[in-house]
Structure 1
Amino acid sequence: MSDEPSTFEEFVAARGPTLARSAYLLTGDRHLAEDLLQSALARALPRWSRIEDPEAYLRRVLFTEHVSWWRRRRRLTEVPLDDHDAPARGDGADEDVPRRLAVEAALRSLTPKQRAVLVLRFYEDLSEAEAATVLGVSVGTVKSQTHVALKRLRALAGVHPDLSLPERN
């Protein structure tokens, strides 16, 4: 296990970019994602030596903090008019702009908890039980939020041809 980061700084250097992508997927805004990640890291630093699984701890903080922000603010989110908030691409080319914009718009139509569940289940590839643990909810809540979110996305796929989702089995 010598490959695992031992200090806070090593952990942030090694896992920070992955956590930043998760934060971006939750917020849909690069600047809010940076704030969210910084807030989570600030909460972890004072108790770093007592945290058994830092990545799981920080994921949970990211998701719960994001939901808390949404509950406190309950305001309309700004929609960027240009692409300056999107994460940088390696080659600078984006051959599928309409699809990406349709997916981002569809994700913005979901509640923060629905977005969190989809990010955990399909981006982070967690099981229903793992996602429930991270969010501090029951497995049934994860199942129902996933069902409602995917139903909403499928309905939007009918309106936006660039947003194609696989059909249910």
Structure 2
Amino acid sequence: MQRKRRRERDEGMTASTLAAVRETTPTFDDWLAARGSALLSFAWMVTRNREDAKDVLQDALVGLCPRWERFGDVDEAEAYLKRSIVNGSVSNWRKNGRRLVPVADPGQMQPAVPDFTETNDEADLAWQLCETLTPQQRAVVVLRFREDCSFADIARILEIPQATARSHAHRALARLRKELEKAREEGR
């Protein structure tokens, strides 16, 4: 569907207009230099493991690089990349027997936006509890609450219906509330 829209858009443009659009799109290297740390942070939030995040991001970038010129804008390319990261994470999760090994937050990763949750112990605990979620639920939670995406954007990025995105968020939040209550009772 995106190819069809892009083709229709490109056919409606003159050659000079199309060239101008392509000139305003940054090169793959420039885009990666600007967004690399945010993408690695996203991958870590989805996988909760530094090495897995690097691997999944690298695989996604390998898939994106030859397709870079086909994307009409940077947002489409980033949505494709985030979807590839989530797919890779789900594949690894399935392949490795659905084992999750909690690890500490990589100290050198800088979030795309300032992280004000560092002073809030409950928020820290909530992000730690995200490790108990399925990769799809974790991806929705990260996109919704970390990346501040709307459900329409989440549905577009993950290529799922909006209702499914909302359902994943609802189930994830219910599970997180339950785990948070349990942690409070244990005195964490």
Asked which structure has the greater CA Rg, the reply is 2
Distance 1:30 1:50, change over 3 A: same
User: Contact conserved, 1:30 with 1:86, CA < 8 A, in 2?
Assistant: yes
Task: Using the TM superposition, give the Cα deviation of residue 96 of structure 1 relative to its aligned residue in structure 2, in angstroms.
Answer: 5.4
Q: Whose helix proportion is higher, 1 or 2? A: 2
The residue type equivalent to 1:114 in the other structure is Q
Aligned to 1:50: 70
Q: Which of the residues 138, 142, 147 maps onto 2:161? A: 138
State how far apart, in whole Å, the 1-side matches of 2:106 and 2:122 are: 14
Q: How does 1:63-78 map to 2 (within 5 A)?
A: 63-78=86-101
RMSD of the TM alignment (CA)?
2.8
State how far apart, in whole Å, the 2-side matches of 1:113 and 1:61 are: 12
* Structure 2: runs of 5+ lacking an equivalent: 1-20, 111-117
Aligned to 1:148: 171
Aligned to 2:53: 33
Identity %: 37
Deviates more, 1:127-136 or 1:99-108: 99-108
- Give the alignment's TM-score, normalised by structure 1: 0.79
Q: Which of the residues 64, 69, 84 maps onto 1:61? A: 84
State how far apart, in whole Å, the 2-side matches of 1:76 and 1:64 are: 16
Aligned to 1:87: 107
State how far apart, in whole Å, the 1-side matches of 2:156 and 2:120 are: 35
Task: Using the TM superposition, give the Cα deviation of residue 64 of structure 1 relative to its aligned residue in structure 2, in angstroms.
Answer: 2.1
Q: Which of the residues 35, 43, 51 maps onto 1:15? A: 35
User: Contact conserved, 1:20 with 1:37, CA < 8 A, in 2?
Assistant: yes
Task: Using the TM superposition, give the Cα deviation of residue 58 of structure 1 relative to its aligned residue in structure 2, in angstroms.
Answer: 1.2
User: Contact conserved, 2:102 with 2:131, CA < 8 A, in 1?
Assistant: no
Distance 1:86 1:96, change over 3 A: farther
Q: Deviations over 1:80-119 (max 9, x none)?
A: 4xx4x523378xxxx7596576334411111111001101
User: Contact conserved, 2:48 with 2:131, CA < 8 A, in 1?
Assistant: yes
User: Contact conserved, 1:51 with 1:57, CA < 8 A, in 2?
Assistant: no
Q: How does 1:88-167 map to 2 (within 5 A)?
A: 88=108, 99=122, 102-161=125-184
User: Contact conserved, 1:30 with 1:87, CA < 8 A, in 2?
Assistant: no
User: Contact conserved, 1:28 with 1:104, CA < 8 A, in 2?
Assistant: no
* Aligned residue pairs, count: 156
* Structure 1: runs of 5+ lacking an equivalent: 163-169
The residue type equivalent to 1:130 in the other structure is D
Aligned to 2:7: none
Aligned to 1:24: 44
